[in-house]
Amino acid sequence: MSTATSWEPQIEAVRRRTLGLLQALQHNGQAFELPAAPDALPQLEQKLTANEYEVLVVGEAKRGKSTFVNALIGRDLLPTDVDIATCQVFRICPAQREAYRLRFEDDSQQVITAADLPRYGSQVLADIEGTPRLDQIIRWIEVDVPSRFLPANVRLLDTPGLGALYAAHAAITHRFVPRADAVVFVLDSQAPIGAPEIAFLEELLKVTSHLFFIQTKIDLFRKEAWQEIQKRNQEILAQRFKDRLTDCRVWPISSTNLRKAAQTGDEDYLLVSRHKELAAALQAFLFRVSGWVRTAEALTVANAYHDLGRKTLASRLANVLEQSKQKRAENQQRAVECRRRFDAEWGEHGQKRRELLEGLHEAATRAQRAFLQALQPGGKIDRSYQAKIDGLQSIEEVSEYAQLLPAQLQEAVLEEWRSISEAFQARCLELLAPFWNAAETAHVFHETTDGPPAVAAPPLSIVTDYFDRFRRAYLDATITGTTVGILAGIFAFPVGGLVAIGAAIWAGFRGWQVTAARQLQEAQRQLRGHLNQILSQLRSHYLDVNPTRPGMVEEFFTTAERQLSNKIHQLTTQKLAETQAEINRMLEEEKFNDAERQAKAEALNKQLAQWDALRQDIQEIGNALQDMERNMAASLPR
């Protein structure tokens, strides 16, 4: 406990100092009339101020995930007493007042009550009571409650159990992994980690290595028994995944005793629950895997902006100190020429800007066409699943595959979309790189000894955040939801009536009185037909255009083009205004007499001194961050 807890003052000190740095850079940048700070700077300041972490809780069904979350809350609130507990994601946020909401992907909300949580959150009850379909695009169920043991800066996302029988469960869990700061992977004390959990860890590691392992139900077993399971779990994780995991330790927890501690206030229950050790370790882990990254990203952006600001101030000072009127005139002419060239290339009618927009449009068209082709009859997805259906050897195999097909087909569509959209994003970043370079260097005209200003990577808010937010909030969500809506009603049943719980469309199978061979051939034919029907519905839903609005995929790419075009226009306008301001400054200074020129130089030297002091802060915070990372890594068990 002491090792993890000892990091908390250092973590907080680095966070506060970084916040002060970002605020000083923005304040001085405005006071000194420097180029506008990149959008990422105030966004990073906001993240560091909030100091909040999104933590995803995942694991096999019935490992005690929701019971663990209830214990952190201090009361039994989330549904647990059903065969398969959660079908929706619950977002638990510590708050003084209780509030419950359905949050949709367009950020709209619907207020509900605590009594509604089982209805909206339990798959079994949903089947009976008619929970809103997933194609209504519910992002999560928000639960704001006073929480006895959940840290104030942690928002927990409790996900469906991975061993669930419902096709939507794994897809929902996969959908939220990329947005989480860390993933808490729940094991229990009955047996060591098994093959299904190993398989899911392999999938998780494709997205993140920031996994924090806990082992529940230690109160149900003798200490020696659960510790042996804990030891074995750690050995398996270390041997199987090695350095692919950030930390292979498994932290034990008794949710039952933690719940009793909340009910009684008895510190002995809290002690035996082992919550204090786990909570301290989680905070240190969150800083190491996410808080450190936030701070490092803030320092990277701050350093690039500082370089740009210093280059600007140095350029102004050099021009003021220039004794030769001819050279000052040359500087002015250079400034005018730089602005003219930037406008000619990237302005509203610029050749390079036109080529950039054409390239973005071509990339969007290619990506949209690729996704359409993947869903076409005879396309990659269709061919793959037709071959799998043809390879089935018995009516039992057809029955089993009918159960698996919804989740598999859904995942195939999602993976195809993710692959295409990520390739589109990478292509956009490649196309935009020359523009960022030109925009970030457009207003520095005077040659100084400092070298060219550092050019930051394209601001996250312009490209990456847009793609991630739109893809996650709109297309991923609807593909997940609607695909399940289409598939579940068709394939949630066994072929031949082996388990008669499916849709009416398959009712005829139950009355067959034909040979086994005919059953198999007919079942395969029907399965292929339904595969084609589903792909047709997916094409219609995501790609077809109607009189009132474009298809969903077309809308995604059209919106992406429009957003990027607007941002290019905004930045171009801003940079042209900044370059004109520098030109006007030079023209005004040309009227200065010697005394005014000397006073201006003194003022610029003071600004440079203040600005350079911030560089020292950047270096010191960076050194402290590196020391913490090195020491944290050294404290991990080998």
- Tens of pLDDT, residue by residue over 372-419, are 888 888 889 899 999 998 998 888 888 778 777 766 776 787 778 878
What residues contact residue 137 under an 8 Å CB cut-off, 6+ apart?
104, 105, 106, 477, 478, 481
The stretch 231-248 carries a mean pLDDT of 91
Determine how β-strand 53-59 pairs with β-strand 109-112. Answer: unpaired
Q: Phi, psi (5° rounding) for residue 297?
A: -65, -40
Position with higher pLDDT, 611 vs 156? 611
Residue 472 clears pLDDT 80, i.e. is over it:
no
What residues contact residue 378 under an 8 Å CB cut-off, 6+ apart?
none
pLDDT confidence of 43, banded at 50, 70, 90?
A: confident
Residue type, position 409, single letter: L
Cα separation, 236 vs 232, whole angstroms: 6
DSSP H helical ranges for 376-515:
380-390, 395-440, 464-470, 477-491
Cα separation, 44 vs 47, whole angstroms: 5
CB 297 within 8 A of CB 457: no
Give me the residues paired with residue 99 across strands.
144
Residue 142 clears pLDDT 80, i.e. is over it:
yes
Determine how β-strand 250-252 pairs with β-strand 138-145. Answer: unpaired
Residue 479 clears pLDDT 80, i.e. is over it:
no
Residue type, position 513, single letter: Q
DSSP state of 508: G
The stretch 149-165 carries a mean pLDDT of 76
The stretch 90-103 carries a mean pLDDT of 91
CA proximity to 36, closest of 456, 428, 318, 423 = 456
What residues contact residue 568 under an 8 Å CB cut-off, 6+ apart?
346, 353, 356, 357, 432, 435
Position with higher pLDDT, 612 vs 71? 612
pLDDT confidence of 320, banded at 50, 70, 90?
A: very high
The stretch 37-50 carries a mean pLDDT of 89
pLDDT for position 222: 94
Tell the residue number behind the tokens 């394209």, with chain if given. 458
The stretch 508-525 carries a mean pLDDT of 56
CB 258 within 8 A of CB 275: yes
CB 77 within 8 A of CB 121: no
Determine how β-strand 99-104 pairs with β-strand 109-112. Answer: antiparallel
CB 501 within 8 A of CB 493: yes
CB 349 within 8 A of CB 343: no
Residue 177 clears pLDDT 60, i.e. is over it:
yes
Helix axes 325-346, 395-440, angle to 10 degrees: 150
Residue 66 clears pLDDT 90, i.e. is over it:
no
Q: Phi, psi (5° rounding) for residue 393?
A: -105, -10
Residue 229 clears pLDDT 90, i.e. is over it:
yes
* pLDDT tens digits for range 418-461: 788 888 888 988 898 899 888 877 765 555 444 444 433 333 33
Coil, strand or helix at 138: strand
Cα separation, 151 vs 285, whole angstroms: 13
pLDDT confidence of 553, banded at 50, 70, 90?
A: confident
pLDDT for position 502: 25
Residue 506 clears pLDDT 70, i.e. is over it:
no
Percentage of the chain exceeding pLDDT 70: 78
Q: Phi, psi (5° rounding) for residue 493?
A: -165, 160
Residue type, position 55, single letter: V
Beta-carbon count within 10 A of 580 CB: 15
Read off the tokens for 475: 């297309």
Mean pLDDT (the chain) is: 78
pLDDT for position 523: 83
CB 185 within 8 A of CB 209: no
What residues contact residue 177 under an 8 Å CB cut-off, 6+ apart?
56, 58, 183, 204, 207, 208
What residues contact residue 554 under an 8 Å CB cut-off, 6+ apart?
368, 543, 545
pLDDT for position 549: 60
The stretch 248-268 carries a mean pLDDT of 90
Cα separation, 630 vs 638, whole angstroms: 14
DSSP H helical ranges for 266-350:
267-273, 275-286, 292-321, 325-346
pLDDT for position 454: 40
The stretch 121-141 carries a mean pLDDT of 52
pLDDT for position 608: 95
Residue type, position 48, single letter: L
pLDDT confidence of 130, banded at 50, 70, 90?
A: very low
pLDDT confidence of 277, banded at 50, 70, 90?
A: confident
Cα separation, 544 vs 298, whole angstroms: 43
CB 561 within 8 A of CB 360: yes
